[in-house]
Amino acid sequence: MNKRDMILPIPPAEIDAQMAYADQFAALAERPQTYFIVTYGCQMNAHDSEKLAGTLERMGLTAAPCKEEADFVLHNTCCIRDNAERKALGNVTWLKEIKKQRPHLLIGICGCMVQEPGMAETLLRRYPFVDVAFGTGNIHRLPEFLLKAVEKRQRVIAVPEEQSTLIEGLPIKRESSFQNYVTIMYGCNNFCSYCIVPYVRGRERSRNPKDILKEIENLQKQGVQEIMLLGQNVNSYGNDNSFGVTFPQLLHEIGKTGIPRVRFMTSHPKDLSDELIEEMAVNPALCHHFHLPVQSGNNRILDMMNRRYTREIYLDRVRKLRAAVPDIGISTDLIVAFPGETETEFEDTLALSNEVRWDSAFTFIYSPRVGTKAATLPGQIDPDVASRRIEKLIHQQDQITQEIFQSLIGTKVNVLVSGHARRDETELTGKSERNISVNFRGTQDLIGHIVPVQITAASKTTLRGEIIKGE
């Protein structure tokens, strides 16, 4: 790709103009004072919400403890599955009743759902109480949109036609001081037949490696212990531009920054190279966990999904990963009841689960999304059949997870302590390098630090351990 064809970030002057709108908004005599962001979906959405929160704070707003007390409620939406969309719209509709009691309340919707074809028209027609709605490609324009909504009392429904821009330089209010997200690329070129993401997030766009490394170096100086690199398909990083840096090469450079732990997601099996596997084996910063969505264990279904690999290729990638990094934990995504899936083809997925033995699996019943190829396929599966299949798959995966957890008793793991255990405030919790939750006794001052822990027991969803003193 020629440099002139590269996808460049939005010009700094445009970001500066938006920050000028933010300052203008902050100076308004009558404006919202507090905000609350409701986030749906993936880590990419969570990181977008951090940028939205940073922008709102630049505009003079402060976070409210709950949406019932906020002057501006913003729903950052997901549309990957139909139930996520219904939940978001249902919660937005609930705010309509709150607005009757508090007419000054501003309601906003942003994110992937707004970018979905036809959704802007739906919001205009069926949700007149929504004040601001905008897509994933123009989150930087929040100051401009909100200023117009407050100062001119105008509804703003804005969806960019072109999703090819990169946005650098927005303020970020990070949720954690020791675990942070870093986006390395946006969009997706894969067009899996069941997935709406390429239509709402646009084509793949890689950030400049210099910008990525600068961001990570700053986080390292602030004492951040772990970063999660984000992208719809991180291991195709660099394919879209002429920076001349592949994903493994980027990881190699990130390893030099001094960040203790690095994770990444999500990876596509077709782009998992030998170069990346080698980097996993030699880079001490990379956590020994790999999320590798397979979706189905049957080749015909994989072909119908347009996944562009076979069961055999997936197994080869897994074998190479485990040969290079013997203690690696692998997790996956699985879809059951894809249109036309037979009982025998579903059994192939069960068999693959037994063969690979993932640490964990995110399992889903196929959800039709309007605008995708799979939504038009014949052979939609009866809901009762789909429910039976997913229950069987979950039961099997739970057994495998338990066996893996039991095998880890007696081992030593390094845990980044994230806080107090959910069910016992006297215990701490955190993630091992393998991305498994570990609970143990410890003091408050350990939160945000990496500590060695000996595993002593296993429950259904977590490991238990004891701190190894003197290390």
Is 167 contained in some domain? no
Host domain of residue 291: 179-406
Residue 233: both structure tokens together: 């398909």
Residue range 59-103, pLDDT digits in tens:
999 999 999 999 999 999 887 777 777 788 888 888 888 888 899
- More confident site: 313 or 122: 313
Pairing assessment for the beta strands 437-441 and 427-432 based on DSSP bridges: antiparallel
Which residues have a Cβ under 8 Å from the Cβ of 135 and sit 6 or more positions away? 110, 111, 114, 115, 158, 159, 160, 163, 200
- Is the pLDDT assigned to residue 5 strictly greater than 50? no
Is 170 contained in some domain? no
Indicate which CATH number applies to the domain containing 369.
3.80.30.20
Number of domains in the chain: 3
Answer yes or no: do 402 and 417 share one domain.
Answer: no
Residue 455: both structure tokens together: 């595993």
Answer yes or no: do 122 and 201 share one domain.
Answer: no
Answer yes or no: do 57 and 141 share one domain.
Answer: yes
- Is the pLDDT assigned to residue 1 strictly greater than 50? no
Answer yes or no: do 119 and 99 share one domain.
Answer: yes
State the average pLDDT over residues 407-414. 97
Answer yes or no: do 316 and 206 share one domain.
Answer: yes
Answer yes or no: do 7 and 56 share one domain.
Answer: yes
Answer yes or no: do 230 and 265 share one domain.
Answer: yes
List the one residue out of 378, 233, 367, 351 whose CA is nearest residue 296.
351
Answer yes or no: do 316 and 393 share one domain.
Answer: yes
Answer yes or no: do 421 and 399 share one domain.
Answer: no
- Rounded CA-CA distance 109/149 in Å is 13
Indicate which CATH number applies to the domain containing 120.
3.40.50.12160
Residue range 189-213, pLDDT digits in tens:
999 999 988 888 888 889 999 999 9
Answer yes or no: do 296 and 337 share one domain.
Answer: yes
Answer yes or no: do 86 and 219 share one domain.
Answer: no
- More confident site: 163 or 319: 319
Q: What is the DSSP string of 230-295?
A: E-TTGGGTTTTSSS---HHHHHHHHHTTT-SEEEEE---GGG--HHHHHHHHH-TTB-SEEE---B
Indicate which CATH number applies to the domain containing 426.
2.40.50.140
Answer yes or no: do 417 and 371 share one domain.
Answer: no
